[in-house]
Copies of this chain bind each other. A is one copy, B any other.
Amino acid sequence: MLTTCCLPLTQEPLTAGQAESLAHGFKAVGDPIRLRLLSLIASQDGGEVCVCELNDGFELTGPTISHHLKVLREAGLITSERRGTWVYYRAVPEVMARLSAVLAPAAERV
């Protein structure tokens, strides 16, 4: 996963290995539904949100939402925690920040 990485790519070309790893993260948010799910989770006051609340915002079935959440989880962008019958999701800011940094303008080179 995204264990070590990366200067803005405006400064230095990515290696094949870095690109492979980063692309996995970008591909995860390269779907509108998943991007919206991540935004709902990441913007949540209190830092976490129950999957039962997420389902309501989409016209997709529960299994489909669950599948999308799994993709985000496997990309390291969110974590999940079961409490009783309920499952709560949190965003992982560090992973988002890494993806963000790679595309950042060169002006942030300092």
Interface residues of A (CB under 8 A from B): 9-14, 16, 19-20, 22-24, 26-36, 38-40, 42-43, 91, 93, 96-97, 99-106
A-B contact pairs, 6 of them (CB 8 A): A16-B32, A23-B32, A26-B26, A26-B27, A27-B30, A100-B104
Q: Which 7 A-B pairs have the closest CB atoms?
A: A27-B30, A9-B39, A100-B103, A30-B30, A26-B30, A14-B39, A19-B32
Residue numbers in B under 8 Å from A105 (CB-CB): 93, 96-97, 100
Instruction: Give the secondary structure class of A's interface.
Output: helix
Q: Contacts A27-B30, A30-B30, A35-B22; is A9 near B97 (CB within 8 Å)?
A: no
Residue numbers in B under 8 Å from A33 (CB-CB): 19
Q: Are A13 and B26 in contact (CB under 8 A)?
A: no
Looking at the assembled complex, report how far the CB atom of A26 sits from the nearest CB atom of chain B, in whole angstroms.
4
